[in-house]
């Protein structure tokens, strides 16, 4: 099929779809036409329960009138204005409001906010800030960044270099980086509820890489406090604390990539709050505007910001920024989203629901091919045994089956990931598990 099967509908040929098997998709497309609350509606009028908050971003649910109105108002007031050597009040207002809920709370002082247009831009921004900071404090030999296997940090050259997903890396050149081992260990930790018991020693990989490269070559270490895109991987108990301690010992900045965990996903405003481990930089995007308008933000500590605010005052301190950094319409969407988070208690609602969510997910234990179930906050993963000679095929078939039965899930390899909007009710959690459970029973 190269045409959507509706009168006057567009051809599917021209949109080169991201992270998609274009030819496979266009032969059997799944097209969403509208959305409200917890549900999408496809072009044939079928309702689809959103088990993934879009792509981990629609935390306050779809179709929020307040965001729509804020965007419309802003478009009519100031559609665009530059933030290079110029400013507009709403960007400062949003930064101030974000600073008030910044990761780690007021004591952490991660309240200097650099706006970007996406998660990938937030990651590349944080890496560049880390390298520039080290240079500004007289540590100019520190340009290497340490990431982790199976990490996902977006698709910029910086992000793929520190990321650890081979398909995203193999074709492209990279910046100087090295990788710690990932923390997924099904043999030791299968069916863990919350954080796995085993694996704190993996943080010592940072020590090993310091011994290999020399601390004086390493600017920063970046990890997702909980990895999402690579198949939902939790940090073992005590792991992030250990990483913080080793980074401190060697003058290495710690960056948490909170593009997924930011804005309530774990039942706290940020994963930084959940773990009580304070990094130097935090990258965010997605939930910052509920996905309504593209935007990201990097939260930097005052130490990092102040370290760069040196030199003559008429000199640009950081040669970096985007046309859309602090875009007024994105800021309007972000402020409206933040008001909803705060008024509806959604930054912490995940904590109230976490146990129901955990019980529901773990009820799928014992179904065919399920080799692990993992959960934290309002995130879940069901890992399947791969079909012989066809890795990923079983999970993909289940994804298609669920969609046909009215549930959107996300699959990466043979991992099914779930991250519904934070407005989810208990009966909807039940519905997710019921549709998924039936699909698991049907799958070959
Ligand atoms: N970092 C993490 C942890 C992510 O999960 C993602 C996207 O899923 C990104 C970065 C990239 O964000 P974007 O797709 O907005 O560039």
Phi, psi for 294 (deg, rounded to 5): -60, 135
- Residues 6 or more apart in contact with residue 362 via CB below 8 angstroms: 191, 193, 373, 375
The pLDDT > 70 percentage for the chain reads 98
For the chain, domain boundaries: 31-60+345-442, 69-343
Nearest residue by C-alpha to atom 6 in ligand 1: 154
Sign of CA dihedral 346, 103, 117, 121: negative
145: alpha, beta or left? (left if phi > 0; alpha if psi -120 to 50): beta
Coil, helix or strand at residue 407: strand
- Ligand 1 nearest-atom number relative to CA 227: 3
- Residues 6 or more apart in contact with residue 263 via CB below 8 angstroms: 59, 269, 270, 284, 286, 287, 288, 341, 347
| Nearest of 202, 225, 224 to residue 153 by alpha carbon | 224
Query: How many C-beta atoms lie closer than 10 Å to residue 411's C-beta?
Result: 21
* 8 Å CB contact between 413 and 395: yes
Measure 118 CA to ligand 1 centroid, in angstroms: 7
* 8 Å CB contact between 133 and 301: no
Q: Give whole-number Cα distances, 231 to 21, 175, 226, 374, in Å.
A: 19, 25, 10, 10
Measure 284 CA to ligand 1 centroid, in angstroms: 8
Residue in this structure with the two tokens 């995940």, named with its chain if needed: 350
Pairing of strands 407-408, 47-50: parallel
- Residues 6 or more apart in contact with residue 35 via CB below 8 angstroms: 41, 50, 58, 62, 63
Sign of CA dihedral 426, 428, 429, 434: positive
Phi, psi for 337 (deg, rounded to 5): -65, -45
Instruction: In the chain, count H helices and then E strands.
Output: 16, 15
Q: Please, how many CA atoms are within 13 Å of residue 224, restricted to the half-sphere of its CB? A: 29
264: alpha, beta or left? (left if phi > 0; alpha if psi -120 to 50): left
Mutate to test the pocket of ligand 1, among 19, 53, 54, 123 (most ligand atoms within 8 A of CB): 123
Q: What is the pLDDT of residues 410-427, one digit of tens each?
A: 999 999 999 999 999 999
Measure 243 CA to ligand 1 centroid, in angstroms: 22
Nearest residue by C-alpha to atom 7 in ligand 1: 154
* 8 Å CB contact between 301 and 109: yes
Six token digits for residue 157: 């050259």
Six token digits for residue 333: 């969407």
CA distance 324 to 312: 26
Measure 154 CA to ligand 1 centroid, in angstroms: 4
Measure 94 CA to ligand 1 centroid, in angstroms: 21
* 8 Å CB contact between 127 and 117: no
Residue range 69-343 in CATH 3.40.640.10: yes
Digits of tens for pLDDT over the chain (444 positions)? Answer: 455 666 668 899 999 999 999 999 999 999 999 999 999 999 999 999 999 999 999 999 999 999 999 999 999 999 999 999 999 999 999 999 999 999 999 999 999 999 999 999 999 999 999 999 999 999 999 999 999 999 999 999 999 999 999 999 999 999 999 999 999 999 999 999 999 999 999 999 999 999 999 999 999 999 999 999 989 999 999 999 999 999 999 999 999 999 999 999 999 999 999 999 999 999 999 999 999 999 999 999 999 999 999 999 999 999 999 999 999 999 999 999 999 999 999 999 999 999 999 999 999 999 999 999 999 999 999 999 999 999 999 999 999 999 999 999 999 999 999 999 999 999 999 999 999 999 999 998
* 8 Å CB contact between 136 and 307: yes
Coil, helix or strand at residue 339: helix
Q: What is the pLDDT of residues 89-115, one digit of tens each?
A: 999 999 999 999 999 999 999 999 999
Cross-strand bridge partners of residue 11: 3
* The CATH number fitting domain 31-60+345-442, selected from 3.40.630.10, 6.10.140.120, 2.40.110.10, 3.90.1150.10: 3.90.1150.10
Residue in this structure with the two tokens 């000199």, named with its chain if needed: 315
What single-letter DSSP state applies at residue 182? Answer: P
Identify the residues whose C-beta falls under 6 Å from ligand 1. Answer: 118-120, 123, 152-154, 224, 228-229, 257, 259-260, 285
Coil, helix or strand at residue 114: strand
> For 54-110, what is the HEC assignment?
HHHCCCCCECCHHHHHHHHHHHHHCCCCCCCCCCCHHHHHHHHHHHHCCCCCHHHCC
CA distance 134 to 435: 51
CA distance 342 to 290: 13
């Amino acid at each position: 099929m190269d045409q959507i099967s509706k009168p006057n509908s567009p051809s599917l040929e021209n949109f080169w779809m991201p992270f998609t098997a274009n030819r496979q998709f266009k032969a059997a497309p799944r097209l969403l036409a509208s959305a409200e609350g917890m549900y999408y509606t496809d072009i044939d009028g079928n309702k689809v329960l959103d088990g993934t908050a879009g792509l981990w971003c629609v935390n306050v649910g779809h179709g929020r009138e307040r965001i729509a109105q804020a965007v419309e108002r802003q478009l009519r007031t100031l559609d665009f204005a530059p933030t290079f050597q110029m400013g507009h009040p709403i960007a400062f207002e949003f930064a101030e409001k974000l600073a008030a809920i910044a990761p780690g709370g007021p004591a952490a002082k991660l309240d200097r906010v650099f706006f970007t247009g996406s998660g990938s831009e937030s990651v590349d921004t944080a890496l560049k800030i880390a390298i520039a900071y080290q240079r500004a404090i007289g540590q100019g030999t520190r340009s290497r960044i340490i990431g982790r296997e199976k990490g996902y940090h977006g698709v910029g050259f910086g992000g793929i270099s520190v990321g650890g997903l081979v398909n995203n890396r193999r074709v492209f050149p990279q910046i100087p980086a090295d990788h710690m081992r990932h923390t997924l260990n099904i043999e030791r930790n299968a069916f863990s509820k919350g954080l796995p018991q085993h694996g704190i020693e993996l943080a010592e990989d940072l020590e090993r890489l310091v011994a290999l490269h020399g601390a004086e070559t390493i600017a920063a270490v970046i990890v997702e406090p909980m990895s999402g895109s690579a198949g939902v991987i939790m940090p073992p108990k005590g792991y992030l604390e250990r990483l913080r301690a080793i980074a401190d010992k060697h003058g290495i900045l710690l960056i948490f990539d909170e593009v997924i965990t930011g804005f309530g996903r774990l039942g706290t405003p940020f994963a930084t709050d959940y773990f009580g481990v304070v990094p130097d930089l935090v990258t965010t995007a997605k939930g910052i505007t509920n996905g309504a308008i593209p935007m990201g933000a990097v939260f930097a500590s005052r130490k990092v910001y102040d370290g760069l605010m040196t030199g003559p005052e008429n000199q640009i301190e950081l040669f970096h920024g985007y046309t859309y950094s602090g875009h007024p319409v994105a800021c309007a969407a972000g402020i409206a989203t933040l008001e909803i988070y705060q008024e509806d208690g959604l930054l912490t609602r995940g904590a109230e629901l976490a146990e129901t969510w955990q019980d529901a997910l773990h009820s799928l234990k014992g179904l065919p091919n399920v080799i692990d179930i993992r959960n934290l906050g309002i995130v879940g993963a069901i890992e399947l045994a791969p079909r012989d000679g066809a890795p990923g095929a079983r999970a993909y078939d289940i994804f298609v089956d669920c969609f046909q039965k009215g549930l959107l899930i996300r699959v990466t390899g043979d991992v099914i990931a779930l991250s519904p909007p934070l407005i989810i009710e208990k009966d909807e959690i039940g519905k997710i598990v019921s549709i998924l459970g039936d699909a698991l029973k049907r799958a070959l």
